[in-house]
Chains A and B, each alone.
Chain A
Amino acid sequence: MRFISMVKSTESRSGPPPKALMEAMDQLVKDAAKAGCVMVEAGGLLPTSNGARIRLSGGKLTIMDGPFTEAKEVVGGYAIFDVKSKADMIEWTSRFMDLHKEHMAGWEGEAEIRQLAEMGAEPCRSAE
């Protein structure tokens, strides 16, 4: 089953993550693969100043260019994993978040994981 993890944090800090963190993440992805949890795709998002929001409300479209200054936390990156269970995804995402403790001290944020709809695949049971 596939899960997407979206990593959110405050946008105050710009630029790519430190090299040590990138290397640690690479290693984590390799370890995960050896345990049968495969990263299908991943990417980092550029600042919200490069983005826009297109909203449909009350039959009216509103387009709002970034940056999204009112947002407390914004999505900075995502990764899609193919895993055996939701618990496995939580474990790997926890390990991913943990890397920041050592390699990007002071960073705070939240990773939201969501299961992707797949044809023929059941949603995982809530107990898992």
Chain B
Amino acid sequence: MTATDTHRAIDAVFRIEQAKLIAGLTRLVRDIGVAEELAQDALVAALEQWPRSGIPDNPGAWLMTAAKHKAIDHFRRNRLRERKAEELGYEREIEQETAQPDPDEALDDQFGDDLLRLVFISCHPILSPEAQTALTLRLLGGLTSDEIARAFLLPEPTIQQRIVRAKRMLSDKRVPFEVPRGAELEARLSSVLSVIYLIFNEGYAATAGEDWMRPQLCQEALRLGRILAELAREEPEVHGLVALMEIQSSRFGARTLPSGEPVLLLDQDRARWDRLLIRRGLAAFGRAEALNAASARAPGPYVLQAAIAACHARAGTADQTDWARIVGLYAKLGEVTPSPVIELNRAVALAMLLGPEAGLNLVDALTAEPALRTYHLLPSVRGDLLRQLGRFDEARAEFERAAALTRNERERNLLLARAAACEAKSDGQKQQK
């Protein structure tokens, strides 16, 4: 191996081992910030030694041992300053673990548990959703502050600050490093899933900026979801979320034209959908359904959304879509998590099933909804239904309103183009009269 090869290999090893390392260390030192520093120290040690000694057979275990030695140093240094009984206890534990022979399999399970604890602490509800997202991407995704900042179109110091504050908050409040149990588990898991889906959605329909999608965020969210599915295999909602993200990701290639213009679901060339991702998505959906059936549980919000995505994925052409089933699924979803956005989606499906009039009635009922006042998709959907009913002037006004509300440039262009098309139709109508 050349020096560059070794360096590249160390990078890869570290990327692979980092989350496990931080997770294991957090259990030992009870502080995410300290754990992250110790992991960095271990990396520095590897960078010094591996180019000379070669990469060890079990690099993960090597890094962990190196980090544990650093942890002991850390506690000894701290102890000189202030004698903390509990830290003495931690130190003894670390020493014991370090002295143990290497029971590989037990360690693997422990790693899995530690990683899951790391997921839960990063998405802890005492943190704001923004902080949860940044911390999750940093600790589990291994993204640098710069990468996170670029993905969210924010200045790097903002992200750095969020992460530092989040770590301090967790440390100050002494948030336990644990997997919640019983009734708490469900609530906490739902917060974890929403962080991952938030990351995915930010990539799938960028709220602002020049690009319609930022696929690297979707890929990162999908990766996190797949890891979580491995760590929490018995949770149907986890598989539901993974299924949803796999199926939505399958449409990447079809969602934009080469010029970057967005293509709406029903206009997409389905030959461009990624069959492999669909297959994986449907398999994950199957696992979720089987888990629900085995425990006689009703499907949760992610399984229901995955079911809707699966309906689209299974339809060979837009005409073959099972709209009746989709309308029913949106109704169930609305019962589980009432939301005007879900109602809006149900209206779209209803219009496909029964015609634009039926959809429009439902949409009109939503126009008074305060939560949707600045939501660009409401006028966009309304415009589309009005267009189908031949009410082009009203449709144009709605598309223009939607264009003014979106912060995504690609989407704004698409909406303005649809407004212009309505204007042309309207002129045509007037000439005929």
Residues of A within 8 A of B (CB): 27, 30-31, 33-38, 40-41, 84-85, 87-88, 90-92, 94, 98, 118-121, 128
Q: Which chain B residues lie closer than 8 Å to A91 at the CB level?
A: 9, 12-13, 16
Task: Check A36 against B226 for contact (C-beta < 8 Å).
Answer: yes
CB closest residue in chain A, given B11: A87
Q: Which chain B residues lie closer than 8 Å to A41 at the CB level?
A: 276
Q: Which chain A residues lie closer than 8 Å to B141 at the CB level?
A: 36
**Which of B31-39, B107-115, B340-348 lies on the face that meets chain A?**
B107-115
Task: State the CA gap A110–B9 with chains docked (Å).
Answer: 18
Task: Check A35 against B20 for contact (C-beta < 8 Å).
Answer: yes
The answer to whether the Cβ of B274 comes within 8 Å of any Cβ in the partner chain is: yes
Residues of B within 8 A of A (CB): 8-9, 11-13, 15-17, 19-20, 57, 108, 111-112, 115, 141, 215, 223-224, 226-227, 230-231, 252-254, 256, 272, 274, 276, 280
Number of residue pairs spanning A and B whose beta carbons lie under 8 angstroms apart: 65
Q: Which chain B residues lie closer than 8 Å to A98 at the CB level?
A: 57
CB closest residue in chain A, given B250: A119
CB closest residue in chain B, given A31: B108
Task: State the CA gap A106–B108 with chains docked (Å).
Answer: 28
Task: State the CA gap A113–B317 with chains docked (Å).
Answer: 35
Beyond A33-B227, A40-B280, A118-B274, is A84–B253 a contact (Cβ under 8 Å)? no
Task: Check B111 against A87 for contact (C-beta < 8 Å).
Answer: no
CB closest residue in chain B, given A33: B230
Task: Check B231 against A90 for contact (C-beta < 8 Å).
Answer: no
Q: A31-B108, A118-B274 are in contact. List 9 more A-B contacts (CB 8 A).
A: A30-B108, A36-B223, A36-B224, A87-B11, A98-B57, A118-B253, A119-B252, A119-B274, A120-B253
Task: Check B223 against A84 for contact (C-beta < 8 Å).
Answer: yes
B178 to chain A, nearest CB (A): 19
Q: Which chain A residues lie closer than 8 Å to B9 at the CB level?
A: 87, 90-91, 94
A54 to chain B, nearest CB (A): 24
- A84, A88, A90, A118 — most chain B CB neighbours (10 Å): A84
CB closest residue in chain B, given A2: B276
A121 to chain B, nearest CB (A): 8
Kindly identify which residue among A34, A84, A90, A121 contacts B230, using a CB–CB cutoff of 8 Å.
A34
Task: State the CA gap A34–B19 with chains docked (Å).
Answer: 10
Q: Which chain A residues lie closer than 8 Å to B20 at the CB level?
A: 34-35
Q: Which chain B residues lie closer than 8 Å to A84 at the CB level?
A: 15, 223
**Which 10 residue pairs across A and B have the least CB separation, nearest first?**
A119-B253, A87-B12, A91-B12, A36-B223, A33-B230, A35-B16, A120-B253, A120-B252, A88-B12, A36-B227
Task: State the CA gap A87–B12 with chains docked (Å).
Answer: 6
Task: State the CA gap A34–B432 with chains docked (Å).
Answer: 65
Q: Which chain A residues lie closer than 8 Å to B108 at the CB level?
A: 27, 30-31
28 contacts between A and B (CB under 8 A): A27-B108, A31-B108, A33-B230, A34-B112, A34-B231, A35-B16, A35-B17, A35-B19, A36-B141, A36-B223, A36-B227, A37-B16, A40-B280, A41-B276, A84-B223, A87-B8, A88-B15, A88-B16, A90-B9, A90-B12, A91-B9, A91-B12, A92-B16, A119-B253, A119-B272, A120-B215, A120-B256, A128-B8
